[in-house]
Chains A and B, each alone.
Chain A
Amino acid sequence: MTEQSPPIAGPGAGAASATSARSVNWTGYLVQYSNVLALVAILVVASILSPYFFSSRNIFNVLRGATMVGIVAVGMTYVILNRGIDLSVGSLVGLSAALTASFAQHGLLVAASIGLASGLALGLANGLMITALRLQPFIATLGMMIFARGLVFVYTGGSNIVVDNPTDAFSFLGSGYAGPIPVPVLVFIAIWAVAAWVLRYTVFGRSIYAVGANEEAARLSGINADRNKILVYCISGVLAAFAGVVMASRLTVGEPNGGTLYELDAIAAVLIGGTTFDGGVGSVHGTVLGILILAFLSNVLNLLNISPYSQMLLKGVIIVLAVVVSEWRKRK
């Protein structure tokens, strides 16, 4: 402490070697990778119980079914890391799906652009309510959830918008295949990869963690916290809208109730994936695990002929357990 040190503000001084011996801590690992283990356990049990489970047809069906909530959940991960919540995403899925379906005759590109624009606009509105009006995210997006669902009902008149003679090009995004792999699954993987990369390797991504971990500290560090939040809600809105585009392409129908409850499934996946409501902790990879756990679990239960009602009991327990485990992880 009393020794002379090199100039602290000048150049020089080499990198310190700061490696520490780590002892193997099995309970620690168990807690750390509990969600991976849960997924593996589900897959093992499933393959024992049902010979049909590991057919590529079944696997890809499950994955394709999970993509829409999955895309929404990626956006939700950003929001929750930022210490927010976005309850409006389900309604934004429905709105975008209805718009996309009703403009289908102009081609997927035009229709999708209109759907995505709706998500961007309402996501931006969420962000502005939360920053400029200083509303709690829960309240702002609850309002938006109801408002946007209202828009869907007004726009559709409460009945399905059916795409007349949908072209293969229109359906490709939701129903197409690239070899054995469904197109939406590939699209989801691309979104996952980009979203994870942005979070980990960009200044913007790290700012999402910083603002989520401590907004005041972020502000005092020169980070524009408001702009960061607005962008996050825009991304969540656009991703929800994109899920709506996939939905319209898949079903060739815009349903007024499309996307209902997606917000809760997405939040569940994010939580199971280890992202915490306190902000600043978690990852997109975790969320993808959460999505897979939920999707394969309900697939297994379906294969075992367990009624959807009973399935809900199990899902509720799993969500709560997942949060308990991530609290343990935090305390470790």
Chain B
Amino acid sequence: MRDSAPLLRLTAISKSFPGVRALDGVDLTVGAGEVVALIGENGAGKSTLMKILNGIYQPDGGEIALDGAPVPFPTPHAALSRGVSMVHQEPKLCLALSVTENVLIGRLPKGRLGAIDWRRAHERTRELLQRVGMRVEPTTATERLSIAERQLLQIAKALASDSRLIVLDEPTASLTPVEVDVLFGIVRDLQAGGVSFIYISHHLEEIFRIAQSVSVLKDGRKVADRKVAETTKEELLSLMVGRDLGNRFPAKGRRPGAPALEVRNLTGRGFRNVSFRVHKGEVVGIAGLVGAGRTELARAIFGADPIKGGEILVNGKPATIRNPADAIGLGVAYIAEDRRDGLFMPLPVRENITVVAPEAIATNGIIRERTQKSIALDYIKRLNIRTPSGEQPIRFLSGGNQQKCILARWIIKGVQTIIFDEPTRGIDVGAKTEIYRLIDQLASEGKAVILISSELPEILGMSDRVLVMERGRLSGEVDGHEATEENLLALALPTNTPSHELQP
């Protein structure tokens, strides 16, 4: 596939921000029709590099060459006009507008008098949608598309500008396994047509399915290039973190105690007739495809959304939970799927940590700031939260450290049951391991833990028992020691799914 001059060659790219050397002499080569994976912990420099490639940042040094000729990329628009485009993790789309407008934005065909030629626009869009395997009407409002469809729409948009190189940033983060298969099929088709991809992902398994080569970034330097066929997941992991991780998950050996939380025939929007029990000192995983109703179930238990029927028992007693405050009062906490639903971005770490426990920091509604500060610092230390001080606005912290702040909150509150909803989504490997250790420690200290996760290794590694949801109902329960990716997937996938899709 490769000829003498590669499609893209980055040479010695460097970029510094005040106080940080984000990139230090990074080289990267992408051949025509090649899929190159780019991996590294959060903060390793992946985003910075991609922003330079897309003309969002200017490098301090180094060279970008397309087809062997050096090119400047002064603006995103210029990058686009040279055939480089980016598919963002969280699509930046105009949701109220039609699919056509989003796909052809900035290049809608004009007719007479400069008015938009809608017939031509919709035709062209239909053509592009077909290339990415989408069967929606071009006039559909974009907000009605699923997350997966929005990813594909972005690829269609990239094709609309005749992109030869598409950067996929964590494209599968919110996709179900079936949707991932569809996406990969399309990537392969386009690849066969000569389109190249840079594929950024935390899912190392995916790299082995889709990429030909992989480049590893660490602390702003490129530490390795490998042919995918000649490397292993373990090697990549150790290259990323610079040390052998050993077992990523803490050993299980917990002893469940009395029931902490029980639901009976719980029904609400997105789930029905769900019954299960969680004991003190136990981690119960909830597996399932995206959209199986896990988040909806968790939010309903927590009082964030209404329930339509069934019972919730806390410590064996029937409980009335009408809002999150009720649930918190009963010792039940929920850590939201989208981390931003838990953070007060402009406020300092100190307040973000203590926000749910006014009783710990205030008397008669008046805050004792010194107590608040010392509690916050205490937990910053205990949970190893990396922040210059308790006064740092939380928006400056990395995802993993933000997540630890949220966790600190509930530990201070002294809740009995914690529901984690995708607690490690989008955070780097090192921080993930820390979160796992914290979850294990909480359970060992007698907390009841519910762990909702779409990452099967995480469910397998952490859970004493695994519940599986499928289209709003509980489809099965598997003991933690007997659970495998295969038997969980079999329960998670819709029963009428052809068997060849069961392969993980």
Contacts and interface: CB of A to CB of B under 8 A. Distances in A.
Interface of A: 1, 5-10, 13-20, 201-204, 206, 209-210, 213-214, 216-224, 278, 280-281, 330
A209 B377 contact: no
Given A8-B445, A13-B382, A210-B355, A1 B347 contact: no
B382 A220 contact: no
A213 B377 contact: no
6 contacts: A202-B367, A217-B336, A221-B328, A221-B356, A222-B328, A330-B346
A214 B343 contact: yes
Contacts of A204: 365
Given A1-B384, A209-B347, A220 B378 contact: no
Contact of A8 (B366, B367, B383): B383
Contact of A13 (B358, B381, B389, B447): B381
Contacts of A201: 366-367, 369
B62 interface: no
Contacts of A213: 344-347
Interface string B219-230: 000000000000
A16 B377 contact: yes
Interface stretch (B86-94, B128-136, B430-438, B452-460): B430-438
A209 B344 CA distance: 9
B232 interface: no
Given A9-B414, A201-B366, A220-B342, A20 B355 contact: no
Contacts of B358: 203
Contacts of B329: 222
Contact of A217 (B341, B374, B378): B341
Nearest to A276: B346
Interface residues on B, range: 35 or more
Contacts of A6: 382
A10 B378 contact: no
Interface in B314-367: 323-325, 327-329, 334, 336, 340-347, 351, 355-356, 358, 362, 365-367
Nearest to B299: A220
Contacts of B336: 217, 220
B387 interface: yes
A20 B304 CA distance: 39
A280 B346 contact: yes
A222 B366 CA distance: 18
A206 to B, nearest CB: 6
B365 A14 contact: no
Given A9-B445, A16-B381, 9 more contacts: A13-B378, A14-B378, A15-B377, A16-B378, A17-B377, A203-B358, A206-B367, A220-B302, A222-B356
A301 B434 CA distance: 61
B498 interface: no
Contact of A1 (B302, B378, B430): B430
B390 interface: yes
Contacts of A7: 441, 445
Interface string B366-378: 1101000010011
B103 interface: no
B66 interface: no
Nearest to A209: B347
Nearest to B381: A16
Given A1-B433, A14-B378, A217 B442 contact: no
B210 interface: no
A213 B384 CA distance: 25
A217 B344 contact: yes
B325 A224 contact: yes
